[in-house]
């Protein structure tokens, strides 16, 4: 059992894995600052390259063609997807990649189980237990991520079953997969003395049940909660890799997988906190999506002031401080370049202009920041909620584009509201607020937004990109 | 004993991960996710071993599929993060 380097002592392999682990950790450390982050990513990639090369050279490869073909196909598809993706489609791509990692872990655990069963009659409890866990987490990650990516891409709709039936189905399939796992671990004597190999199908039952579970877990979760789901699945894919590391006794798999598990979990917690909701509520509760149209008419009736790009530009010309609040609508409309141009124009004219970014704006953690960075917005201009909220009272003009729930004052004022207690951007403290939206339709939470009816708020109806472009053109005309 | 050693690694790595990740600013959460995502493709090592060992046809087929999926994860994940981060550093220079 030896490859090209197989003659060397085992410690050489282990040492190389240690080096790779250090590179991963150092790579993540460099991610703490935008200036060093690119280097961090490269460091991490170098660790991966090193670990893969030493593995390929170390172990005996009986079917090098299969291996080379797999690497080539995977590499080509990976490059193609990465090169062709639009920044707005990034969340679903990250979700998809995630799923592939989890799926691979489940398959590796299965293949290893088959391998070991084929060559020995004794199975250690450690192996079967960790294989069962890797199988469950990996399968849930794979199918959950596919569904999440599908929902983000708009090809998967909402759950066809009622929430209660959904909960029952989730419980059923979780039970099924755990039972199959227990059968694999305990192998009770119910069928008489059967050879260990005949227990293999149990693993595939486990994988099948966990797959269904993964689908049912994610299908009922709404689009605005996707940042949480993507982060959580990210964590799962890491945990799947770590458990596969237990199956294979591979140190670097455990370390790297655990790092990812921790990272995903922390992001999940941050996302939940910024919505003031528990993870349980996000995963199993869901907001009551029913819109109370009567209440909405009451609030909006006669209170809505519509504005035009000309009027907004007049506000901009007299403003000393402008804050722009982007939301998912900006991403959908691909308006980030127009917004960036507007900010640049204002900046050149000496206006203090910044972005106020809510942590859950968009469809994944940091989504708005990534989009604005793509449009060459300096990252110093992107302010987090805690930083920007105290400045609104000194702000002349706030332009909200494609955001709704994250600027809804009901979160502060109405305890019965589904978004009660969620930290929001208190834009109405500014002298005037312009909300750019396509219509008065509610955001994900399904509740009306009293901000729109405020005296200092005016509505600029229209697609985010067209509206922002109109503002740019109008501003250029007015100031030239 | 291997199980205990592995568990030790797991727990220590979890603490290291926690310490580092909590220091990463919100700005960089998207590239962090895709970068961490790429790291989770480390399962490629396992895929390589099972695909290459070729003990049974089924294990080889499973290994092949696993190698393809894990490689997409690794290559795509690192590239996407790289493109994103390149834009961040551009934005920072302005």
Total tally of structural domains belonging to chain B: 1
Partner-chain residue, chosen from A41, A107, A251, that has the shortest CB–CB distance to B65: A107
Contact (CB<8Å) A240/B88: no
Long-range contacts made by residues A179-188, C-beta under 8 angstroms, separation at least 24? A180/A132, A180/A205, A180/A206, A180/A209, A181/A129, A181/A132, A181/A133, A181/A135, A181/A136, A181/A206, A182/A132, A184/A128, A184/A131, A184/A132, A185/A125, A185/A128, A185/A129, A185/A132, A187/A123
* Cα–Cα distance for residue pair A73/A90, rounded to 1 Å: 22
Min Cα separation A426/chain B (Å): 20
* 8 A C-beta contact, residue A110 and residue A181: no
**pLDDT tens-digit series, residues B26-63:** 878 888 888 999 999 999 999 988 887 767 788 888 88
Res A293: pLDDT? 46
| ipTM of the shown complex | 0.92
The reply to whether A405 belongs to the active site is: yes
Is B25 within 8 Å of A32 when comparing Cβ atoms? yes
What pLDDT shows up at residue A2? 58
Out of B10, B29, B78, name the one closest to residue A366 (CB).
B29
Residue showing tokens 């968009």: A362
**What pLDDT shows up at residue A397?**
93
Tell whether B56 is covered by a domain.
yes
Q: With an 8 Å Cβ cutoff, are A66 and B51 in contact?
A: yes
pLDDT at residue B6 tops 80: yes
As a whole number of angstroms, the distance between CA A82 and CA A371 comes to 16
Asked whether residue B15 is assigned to any structural domain, the reply reads: no
Domain that holds residue B56: 29-93
Residues of chain A where predicted confidence (pLDDT) is lower than 70: 1-4, 6, 119-123, 159-161, 189-194, 196, 223, 285-299, 444-446
For residue A122, what pLDDT is reported? 66
Active-site residue identified among A349, A405, A414, A463: A405
Decide if B37 is inside a domain.
yes
In a domain, B68, yes or no: yes
Q: How many CB pairs under 8 A join A and B?
A: 393
- B-chain residues near A354 (CB < 8 A): none
Nearest CA in chain B to A72: B68
Digit-coded pLDDT (tens) for A262-292 = 999 999 998 888 877 788 877 776 544 444 4
Give the best residue of A54, A74, A382 to mutate against chain B (max B CB count within 10 A). A74
To test the contact with chain A by mutation, choose from B2, B56, B76, B78 the residue with the greatest count of A C-beta atoms within 10 A, namely B76
Q: What is the pLDDT of residue B92?
A: 44
For residue B6, tell me if it sits in a domain. no
Domain-located, residue B36: yes
């Amino acid at each position: 059992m030896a490859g090209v380097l197989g003659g060397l002592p085992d410690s050489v392999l282990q040492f190389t894995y240690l080096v790779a682990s250090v590179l991963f950790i150092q790579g993540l450390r460099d991610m703490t600052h935008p200036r060093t982050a690119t280097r961090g990513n490269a460091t991490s990639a170098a660790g991966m390259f090193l670990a893969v090369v030493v593995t390929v050279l170390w172990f005996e490869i009986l079917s090098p063609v299969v291996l080379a073909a797999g690497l080539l196909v995977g590499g080509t598809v990976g490059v193609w997807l990465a090169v062709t993706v639009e920044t707005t489609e990034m969340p679903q791509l990250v979700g998809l990649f995630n799923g592939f990692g989890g799926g691979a872990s489940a398959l590796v655990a299965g293949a290893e189980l088959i391998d070991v069963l084929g060559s020995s009659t004794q199975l250690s409890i450690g192996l079967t237990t960790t294989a069962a866990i890797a199988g469950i987490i990996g399968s849930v990650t794979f199918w959950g991520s596919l569904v999440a990516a599908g929902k983000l891409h708009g090809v998967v709709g909402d759950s066809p079953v009622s929430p209660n039936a959904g909960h029952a189905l989730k419980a059923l399939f979780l039970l099924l997969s755990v039972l199959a796992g227990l059968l694999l671990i305990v192998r009770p004597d119910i069928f008489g003395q059967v050879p260990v190999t005949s227990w293999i199908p149990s693993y595939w039952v486990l994988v099948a049940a966990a797959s269904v579970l993964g689908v049912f877990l994610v299908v009922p979760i709404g689009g605005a909660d996707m940042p949480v789901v993507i982060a959580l699945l990210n964590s799962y894919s890491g945990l799947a890799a770590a458990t596969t590391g237990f199956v294979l006794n591979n140190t670097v798999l455990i370390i790297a997988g655990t790092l990812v598990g921790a990272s995903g979990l922390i992001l999940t917690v941050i996302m939940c906190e910024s919505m003031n909701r528990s993870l349980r509520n996000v995963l199993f509760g869901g907001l009551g999506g029913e819109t109370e149209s009567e209440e909405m008419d009451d609030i909006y009736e006669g209170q809505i002031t519509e504005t035009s790009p000309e009027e907004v530009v007049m506000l901009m010309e007299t403003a000393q401080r402008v804050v722009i609040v982007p939301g998912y609508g900006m991403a959908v409309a691909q308006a980030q370049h127009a917004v960036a141009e507007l900010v640049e124009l204002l900046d050149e004219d000496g206006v203090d202009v910044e972005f106020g970014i809510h942590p859950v704006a968009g469809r994944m953690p940091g989504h708005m920041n990534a989009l604005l960075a793509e449009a060459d917005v300096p990252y110093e201009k992107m302010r987090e909620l805690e930083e920007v909220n105290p400045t609104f009272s000194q702000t002349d003009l706030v332009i909200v584009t494609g955001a709704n729930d994250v600027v809804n004052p009901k979160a502060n004022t109405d305890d019965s509201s589904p978004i009660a207690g969620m930290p929001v951007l208190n834009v109405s403290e500014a002298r005037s607020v312009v909300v750019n939206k396509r219509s008065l339709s509610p955001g994900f939470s399904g509740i009306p937004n009293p901000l729109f009816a405020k005296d200092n708020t005016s509505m600029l109806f229209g697609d985010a990109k067209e509206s922002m472009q109109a503002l740019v053109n109008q501003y250029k005309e007015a100031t030239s | 004993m291997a199980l205990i050693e592995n568990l030790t690694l797991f727990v220590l790595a979890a603490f290291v991960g926690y310490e580092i990740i909590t220091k990463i600013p919100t700005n960089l959460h998207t590239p962090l996710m895709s970068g961490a995502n790429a790291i989770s493709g480390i399962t490629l090592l396992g895929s390589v071993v099972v695909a290459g060992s070729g003990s049974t046809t089924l294990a080889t087929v499973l290994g092949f599929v696993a190698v393809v999926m894990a490689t997409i994860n690794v290559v795509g994940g690192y590239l996407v993060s790289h493109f994103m981060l390149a834009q961040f550093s551009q934005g920072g220079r302005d």
